[in-house]
Amino acid sequence: MIGTSPEGVARQELTQARYGYAFALPAMLLIFGIILGPSLVVIGISLTDYELGALDWRWVGLGNYQEMLGDRTFWRSISNTFTYVAILVPSAVLLGLAVAIMVHARTRTKRIYEVIYFLPVTTTLVAMAIVWNFVLHSKIGPVNAVIVALGFEPIGFFSDRDVVLFSLALIALWQLIGFNMILFIAGLSAIPQDLYEAAAVDGADGWVDRFLRVTWPMLGPTTMFVVVTTTITAFKVFDTVAVLTNGGPRGASEVLLFSIYLEGFEYFRMGYASALTVAFLTFILLFSVVQAWVIDRNVHYR
Amino acid sequence: MKFTLKLLAAVSVITMGFAGPGAAQDKTKLEVFHAWAGHQRFHKPIAEEFMAQNPDIEIEFRAPGADYGAAHLSVLRASLADDLPDVYYSGYHLLPPAARILSEREVIVPLTDFIAAEGDGWIEENYAPNIIALGAVDGVQYAMPFNASTPIVHYNADLIRQAGGDAENLPTNWDELIELAAKINALGDETYGMSYDAHNFWDDWLFQALIKQAGGRMMNEDETAVAWNNEIGLDAMKLAVRFVEEGGMPLITKEESVTLFCAGKKGIHFTSTASVRRFGECSEGNFEYVTGTYPVTDTENGGVPTGGNAAMILTSDKKKQEAAWRFVKFVSGPKGQEIAVLGSGYMPTNKLAAGPDYLGDHYENFPNWTTSLKQIERAQTWYGYPGTNSVKIGRVQMEIFAELMNGDLTPEAALEAMVAETEALLPRN
Amino acid sequence: MSTTAEPFAPQGASTESLSVTFHRLGKFGRLALTHALLLSGVVFVMLPIIWMLLTSMKPGNEIFSAGLDVLPKNPQPVANYTYALTSIPLMRMMLNGAIVCGGILIVQLLTSIPCAYALAKIKFRAAPWVFSLVLLGLCIPIQVPALPLYLALANLGLLNTYFALMLPFFLSVFAIFLFRQFFKSFPDEIIQAARVDGMSEFEIVWRVVTPAAWPAIAAFSIFSITAHWNDLYWPLIVISKDSLATPPLGVAFFFDPESGTDFGSLMAAATIISAPLVIAFLVAQRQFIQGITMTGVK
């Protein structure tokens, strides 16, 4: 609906390109200096048997990677991670969007809903771990008290192998709904009101029509952003595993970052932990590039 | 601003080093680092007491490590950056790797000369042989034991009475204990008999206890094979199954298990003596809380593994080493131990601390705190496997243990799996 | 302000019939249904928070009671909150937190906005590469570059400084990505008009595009501040002095799974350090509203 851009003079484009480089430069320097450069060191370490603090170490080539492929805990943590991502991402995106749309349409109660849904984002994990431990306690927790009162069997949220990933996803969802809601509301706020009016003139009536013709396409870039960041957040699950389940019961919640933590921080095998890290980064990068590519194709920026 | 100050401080320290003693600055500053933020509760008062007695030394604490593993990593990182603390409290199970790496880097100070300078009989007067041994690695005394804890049994006396048991005479062997747990478990749906959370603990501490209490050891003399691939190991497996099947142990996380005990819903709970303070607090007004010694099958040679931490010196500055030794001596001395014990529930590492001048009165008033002392001569080292896989071995064992308790493995199969998996992680020669 | 935007957005296929059913509910019915859904979410969200608040008022022996018996019998809010505030320098920690979060946020905005604008609105050959690097950066958790960064800071003698606390976060790839997505939907003709008016690209970024992106900036600021306010990992690596401790270190003070966590004071401290974030959110909320009026004008 936006007209084609005016004829660009070649010189103008050249100046623009220079600005493009200039604008990207500080960020690129920082990306290399504080993220990528130091991370390259990790790839180097993954080819050694280095242990933190040790003076002697050897190159082992791809030995760590070979060990990794034959390590059943590695494959188990991959499958756990993907299961967790598959549970969490759709629910966190859809519920975040639903809450955002409902809250955004409120007038008097908008601010209060926003604050309440946002509260989980402000909490600190050390405290919330203790809270969840009690609230979801398999024997004496209030949630199970309600479940039992309704006539069902109590659920071993952290002790049942088939349930534990759902419990961890539920806890992440608790924070992510508010998080994604904020992003979607920011996206909704940026949709000009006159587009809805124009759509109404075009004959769009009913909320589904308006949603499909204005809200959804206009929200495209935001949705893509939320999907990609939620996926990456889900892949990076670690804190709740470390403080709530320690990977248990019997490895059922051992996810990739937790395996890396065990190898590097508990067993102090930096070389092997680095190899796992490289594998982790490969996965997550492949995933988000594919995702970004697919969504970027389907989202048309007006 | 901060940076300038630090620079100034560094410069003044350097110039002081050249000028020798007698320069304007006369206080020796020691940086001290320990794990567990909650331990500041006793570390700070100890340092204050020490500084009051030693005005020429100033103690400054680094922000504590989140747990023993995090503190260990932090020290190793600091060794790369030449930014080590002067005194560091290492968890016992991480003491061997820490001492080996730090001595390879020549930054840890062996305490041999300092101890010799204290004169004959000083060690014997202050420390039991099995306790002082906790700070030795490869035959060298690198650290002084500070906190020590052994597993004890925590009971809910109200539930014992309700189940018709005798809370005055607690079980002394496993059969009695499991029988009591079964009775408590039979009280109703909401009540649980016992728990022995060896299947999801932080490490293999509670499993080692099951082997050591039967007089077993973790590895053979020349450290080539596990020493529990026998009746002792099998009995440990069978005992674990009985905890679940007869004693009514719920298979929940270790945190849930603690909460369940605090809520007064569980009769018998196994964990460290360091929890007496916490359980004393959460039980107050809810139920009567008592403690008992860890049952041992072999009353002659049976033992329990010791957890906790020991203080080591990591400075190359001679003057600081001197000051650091005075500090380490103080914290592991009777006064330091009195404060540490009262702030936690750990058992004192210093013999004199339990005497009437220090903890005597407290122990008289709070008998729950004395249980660990009753088994102090049973305290053995918390064994670290050779090679670098000690922690991983513990984790692998716990998983097999969990399958055993869950009924997925027979005791025989579990023992076989545990032996195989453990030996696979030992160094191959 | 948003009466025309309709509530509720199902993702199902049979949207037509749903729409019809929904219409039949009538205005009041629709409103009631929306509130019922929102309120059930509120219960889920509030349950742990209420437990945290109640615990912050309880003495040690009342923390764990079975089932639904959750109200404190002998509340001692004053004792717990006083202890949380006096046993550790919580106020000093919050000041440190504010300095660190503020410093991080300012540098993040200054570096990410121009880069995001370049990626969204300027054609230059390296753009796809830059965007790939941004995606890559987004994937790397701080734990990965932590050790080399620590050693670099140590070699420069910069451990135990505010700078060390802030450095790894000066660039937010999250911000670049977020702003890129927002700038993409900014109308091209406005930018062209500005160019025709003789504005430089620099002016366009800061005076035309940035003001229209307030909702995104507000949203990002909230996330940046909450993330770094509650971060426990990095401060523990570069800070060893109490005087530079950040707020979560205050909460960790009461945490001791070995010999007993002081639950009441811990929850009190946790509540206290969450409060400034709630206030920051209330401030940011205004920016959302401002953003609506800004984009609505044109």
Confirm if C5 and A105 have CB atoms less than 8 A apart. Answer: yes
Mean pLDDT, residues B290-296:
95
* Residue appearing with tokens 């064992």: B397
For residue B52, name the pLDDT band (cuts at 50, 70, 90). very high
C-alpha B280 chain-centroid distance: 19
Q: Does the beta-carbon distance from C240 to B77 stay under 8 Å?
A: no
Q: Starting from the edge strand earliest in sequence, which strands make up the sheet with B266-272, in order?
A: B192-195, B266-272, B151-156, B289-292
Mean pLDDT, residues B329-352:
92
Confirm if B33 and B74 have CB atoms less than 8 A apart. Answer: yes
Query: Angle, nearest 10°, between helix axes B205-212 and B231-245?
Result: 120
Of the candidate ranges A69-73, B85-89, B413-417, the one whose mean pLDDT is the lowest: A69-73
User: What does the pLDDT look like over B212-270, one tens digit per residue?
Assistant: 999 999 999 888 899 999 999 999 999 999 999 999 999 998 888 998 999 899 999 99
Give the H/E segment covering residue B311: strand B307-313
Give B230's DSSP letter: S
Q: Does the beta-carbon distance from B260 to A139 stay under 8 Å?
A: yes
B303 against A14, higher pLDDT: B303
| Nearest one of B215, C51, C130, B284 to A174, comparing CA atoms | C51
Nearest CA-CA distance, residue A162 and chain C, Å: 22
SS (H, E, C) A60-82: CCCHHHHHHHCCHHHHHHHHHHH
Between C8, C171, C269, which is nearest A102 by CB?
C8
User: What does the pLDDT look like over C193-236, one tens digit per residue?
Assistant: 998 898 888 899 999 998 888 888 988 998 899 989 988 788 88
The dihedral formed by the CA atoms of B113, B117, B120 and B126, expressed in degrees to the nearest 10: -90
Give the contacts of C127 (CB within 8 A, at least 6 positions apart). A20, A24, C118, C119
Residue A96 exposure: Cα atoms within 13 Å on the Cβ side: 32
3 state SS of C64: coil
Q: What is the mean pLDDT of chain B?
A: 89
CA angle B11, B16, B20 (to 5 degrees): 160
Mean pLDDT, residues B202-216:
93
Please state whether beta strands B28-33 and B57-61 pair in parallel, antiparallel, or not at all (unpaired).
parallel
Counting DSSP H helices and E strands in chain A, the numbers are: 15, 0
- Chains B and C form CB pairs within 8 A to the count of 109
Between B104, B259, B265, which is nearest A55 by CB?
B104
Between C61, C158, C254, which is nearest B38 by CB?
C254
Find the closest chain B residue to A247 by CA distance: B200
Q: Average pLDDT of each block of 10 consecutive residues along chain C (298 residues)?
A: 37 51 73 91 92 88 70 84 86 94 96 94 87 84 84 88 94 90 85 89 90 86 90 84 85 74 85 90 76 44
Give the H/E segment covering residue B74: helix B68-81
The pLDDT of residue C14: 46
Confirm if B296 and B286 have CB atoms less than 8 A apart. Answer: no
Give the H/E segment covering residue C277: helix C263-297
C-chain CB neighbours of B274 within 8 Å are: 258-259
Find the closest chain C residue to B343 by CA distance: C259
CA angle C83, C86, C91 (to 5 degrees): 120
| Nearest one of B144, B171, B104, B114 to B312, comparing CA atoms | B144
Nearest CA-CA distance, residue C252 and chain B, Å: 6
Confirm if C220 and C67 have CB atoms less than 8 A apart. Answer: no
* Alpha carbons B25 and B6: distance in angstroms, whole number: 15
Mean pLDDT, residues B23-50:
87
Give the contacts of B67 (CB within 8 A, at least 6 positions apart). B35, B36
**pLDDT 10s per residue in chain A (302 long)?**
334 445 555 667 777 888 889 999 999 999 999 999 998 888 898 999 888 777 788 899 899 999 999 888 899 999 999 999 999 999 999 999 999 999 998 888 888 999 999 899 888 887 888 889 888 988 888 899 899 999 999 999 998 999 999 999 999 999 999 999 988 988 888 787 788 888 888 877 777 888 888 888 888 888 888 998 899 889 988 888 988 888 878 889 999 989 988 888 777 788 898 999 999 888 888 887 787 777 666 655 44
